[in-house]
Structures are given as structure tokens and as C-alpha cells.
């Protein structure tokens, strides 16, 4: 059923995607797994965009479908975000990339797990990351990117954070459809999240030690 949902999203079948989402929820599907299916679908769309099969309208339409799906799914996850915050995280999509579905899902799950999260948006230049780190003072910085052009943007951002004397103060995690441990090493980050829950678990482990 999750595979059918991914196929519906990647082929822009909006009504079918929303119907499948509702059917999954009605059958008590794990909402976190459903959100992960959303991110996998967007990864496929991103690859088609980069290869020239899809263009910006398809990228935007898929994003809109996934926002509607996440709107249905998020209320199904019990809010556990009350009480003292367990850590502070900045999240942003790097310069040149407008992808935000995966980022928004990770932010939501972080908040559910008790983190204070500051979303600095999409297409974020390195200097804005630096300024917001100085102001917000997070323990963790998350950089999201769907497209391969994000590789150099992530590297430039980590370099800017280092040049500002802030690198020792934060852990940096990257994530997104094309990201890998190899890209994490290239960018100078501390880790790459393979999916949303992997990212949450890595950040939880880091903040236990801070």
C-alpha cells in the first residue's frame, strides 16, 4: 500500500494519493511510516527533475500533494512536545534548493520528541545560517537538500560556520534524497540522516551527550 502511495504521488495522481492516505490511516497504518513514504516519493520526483523528465511545475505539484498528505497525517501523531525542551535545533534548506517536505517532516517529529526547533526556511545562504546560529544558539544544525546542487551549498555553509568560529559549538546533520555519508564527509558535516527517524535518533543521541 505504501508503494502504491509513492507511485501515485510520483505520477501526480492527487486524488488517488489522498484516497490511499485516508485508507492507510483508516487501517491504522503507522503515521511515521506514512510520512517516510512521502519523503521517498519526493526523492523520486527530485531525481526525475534533475534528469529532465520533470520540470518545476511537477516539482511544485508533488510538493503540494505531499503537504496535503502530511496535513492529514500529522494530527494522528500524539503531541508529546509539552514540558521542558530536550534540545535546540536549527533546520534549513540550503541555498539553491526550495525543497521543504522532508525538512518539515523532520521538524514536526523533532517537536513531537520535545525539541525546540527554529525553521529558517528554504534557499538559505550560508551567512543566514551563521547569523541564526549566533542568535538561536542551537546544539544541532540540520541542512536539507533534495538536489545535487545542494552538495556544494552544504559544503559552503559548513565552511562559513567554521570561519565564523562556531563549528565547535554545533553538530551538523544533512539529509535529503541525494544525500549520503560520502556527501556528509565532502561537506564537512557530522552525519547524514538516511530517513526522518534516523535523523531524529542521531540528534537525540547527540543532545544526550551535550
**Average of per-residue pLDDT across 38-54:** 86
Could you tell me if residue 14 is inside a domain? yes
Both 117 and 63 in a single domain? Answer: no
Instruction: Note down the domain range covering 9.
Output: 2-76
Both 146 and 173 in a single domain? Answer: yes
Both 54 and 29 in a single domain? Answer: yes
Q: DSSP for 49-109, please give it.
A: HHTTSS-HHHHHHHHHHHHHHHHHHGGGS-----SS--EEEEEEEBTT----HHHHHHHHH
Reading the block at residue 200, the C-alpha cell is 531524529
Both 97 and 187 in a single domain? Answer: yes
Q: Is 209 exposed, middle or buried (0-12, 13-18, 19+ CB in 10 A)?
A: exposed
Give the model's pLDDT for residue 21: 94
Give the model's pLDDT for residue 138: 98
Backbone angles phi, psi at 62, to 5 degrees: -60, -40
Instruction: Report how far apart, in Å, the C-alpha atoms of 50 and of each of 22, 143, 178 are.
Output: 30, 19, 11
Residue with the larger pLDDT of the pair 8 and 197: 8
Which strands, in side-by-side order, build the sheet including 87-93? 115-119, 87-93, 140-144, 171-175, 191-193
Cβ atoms of residues 123 and 96 within 8 Å: yes
Both 179 and 136 in a single domain? Answer: yes
Q: Is 112 exposed, middle or buried (0-12, 13-18, 19+ CB in 10 A)?
A: middle
Both 45 and 102 in a single domain? Answer: no
Q: DSSP for 126-189, please give it.
A: HHHHHHHHHHH--SEEEEE-SSTTHHHHHHHHHHHHHHTT-GGG-EEEEESTT--HHHHHHHT-
**Nearest alpha carbon to residue 25 among 65, 62, 75:** 75
Give the model's pLDDT for residue 78: 57
Distance CA 142, CA 154 (A): 10
Both 117 and 200 in a single domain? Answer: yes
First-to-final CA distance of the chain: 40
The mean pLDDT of the chain is 90
Asked if pLDDT for residue 210 goes beyond 60, the answer is no
Could you tell me if residue 81 is inside a domain? no
Both 66 and 129 in a single domain? Answer: no
pLDDT in tens, 77-136: 754 445 567 899 999 999 999 888 788 888 888 887 889 999 999 999 999 999 999 999
Reading the block at residue 106, the C-alpha cell is 523532520
Q: Give the domain CATH number at 145.
A: 3.40.50.280
Please state, as a whole number, how many other Cβ atoms lie within 10 Å of the Cβ of residue 155: 17
Number of domains in the chain: 2
Both 71 and 99 in a single domain? Answer: no
pLDDT in tens, 161-196: 999 999 999 999 999 878 999 999 999 999 999 888
- How does strand 115-119 pair with strand 140-144? unpaired
Which band of pLDDT confidence, cut at 50, 70 and 90, is reported for residue 45?
A: confident
Q: Give the domain CATH number at 68.
A: 1.10.1240.10
Amino acid at each position: 500500500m505504501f508503494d502504491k502511495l509513492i507511485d501515485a504521488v510520483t505520477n501526480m495522481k492527487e486524488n488517488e494519493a489522498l484516497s490511499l492516505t485516508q485508507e492507510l490511516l483508516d487501517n491504522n497504518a503507522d503515521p511515521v511510516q506514512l510520512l517516510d513514504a512521502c519523503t521517498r516519493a519526493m526523492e523520486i520526483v527530485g531525481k526525475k527533475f534533475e534528469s529532465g523528465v520533470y520540470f518545476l511545475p511537477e516539482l511544485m505539484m508533488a510538493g503540494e500533494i505531499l503537504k496535503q498528505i502530511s496535513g492529514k497525517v500529522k494530527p494522528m501523531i500524539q503531541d508529546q512536545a509539552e514540558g521542558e525542551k530536550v534540545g535546540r535545533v536549527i533546520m534549513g534548506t540550503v541555498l539553491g534548493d526550495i525543497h521543504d517536505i522532508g525538512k518539515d517532516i523532520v521538524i514536526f517529529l523533532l517537536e513531537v520528541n520535545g525539541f525546540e526547533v527554529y525553521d529558517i526556511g528554504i534557499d538559505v545562504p550560508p551567512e543566514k545560517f551563521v547569523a541564526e546560529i549566533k542568535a538561536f544558539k542551537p546544539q544541532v544544525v540540520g541542512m536539507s537538500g533534495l538536489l545535487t546542487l545542494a552538495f556544494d551549498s552544504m559544503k559552503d555553509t559548513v565552511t562559513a560556520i567554521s570561519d565564523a568560529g562556531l563549528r565547535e559549538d554545533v553538530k551538523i546533520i544533512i539529509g535529503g534524497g541525494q544525500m549520503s555519508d560520502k556527501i556528509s564527509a565532502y561537506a564537512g558535516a557530522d552525519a547524514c540522516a538516511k530517513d526522518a527517524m534516523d535523523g531524529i535518533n542521531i540528534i537525540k543521541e547527540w543532545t544526550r551527550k551535550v
